[in-house]
Copies of this chain bind each other. A is one copy, B any other.
Amino acid sequence: MGITERRNRDREKMRKRILDTAMKLFLADGYESVSMRRIADMIEYSPATIYLYYKSKDAIFYELHDIGFEKLYKKQSLAYSFKDPWKRLEKHGKAYIDFALGNPRYYELMFIMEAPEKDFSKKDEGDIGYRSFDFLVQNIRDCMDQGYLKKTDASVAAFSFWSLIHGIVSLVLRGKAVMFEEGQMEAVARDSLKYVMNSIRNK
């Protein structure tokens, strides 16, 4: 019977319409400007209808959040085509900064804003978040093995690296780096990463 299938398709279409509209509003004007009523207006349904497809506003944002992780993960994966672990580390860092500065709203949603709800964020973020972090840990370990980095707990070193790049982009995104000229921020971000990488390099 094709009726249930069609219904499922319709349902998915509607979910997508809602998600796309939320994303459009979010990317254009940020979290604040996404309201259930605005989404409803744009898709020409009543606000209550949205609740038949998403259980809350947080649920919508959690899906956007997931899409962002997928995008970042793909971008980072490219770095791992190189065989030299140091080169991989460089590319990883560069990809991260590129993603954050190129998709500032996504980055804020994923790493800067308070997590929408504890119900969601536990398992799934672990899922792809862990995978990404494990990649980094392994790469750091390789760098240590090949003498590029001083040896220590690889998790701690990976966390350090992540902290550095997260710190760089989140200061830039939050406009805290006012001591640099507006147009120079991206360059400063990249130079910062280069400087530290150059300084920690052991061979």
Contacts and interface: CB of A to CB of B under 8 A. Distances in A.
A96 B162 CA distance: 18
A191 B111 contact: no
A149 interface: yes
Interface string A146-180: 00011011011101101111111011001111111
Contact of A130 (B156, B179, B192): B179
Contacts of A202: 199
A156 to B, nearest CB: 5
A180 B111 CA distance: 17
Interface string A24-35: 000000000000
Interface of A is mostly: helix
Contacts of A199: 149-150, 199-200, 202
Most chain B CB atoms below 10 A, which of A112, A156, A165, A202: A156
B164 A196 contact: yes
Contacts of A165: 167
A192 B179 CA distance: 26
Contacts of A149: 199
A203 to B, nearest CB: 12
A178 B114 contact: no
A155 B188 CA distance: 9
A138 B112 CA distance: 29
B155 A162 contact: no
Contacts of A150: 195, 198-199
Shortest 4 CB-CB distances between A and B: which pairs?
A167-B167, A163-B167, A199-B200, A160-B192
Contact of A174 (B114, B157, B162, B179): B114
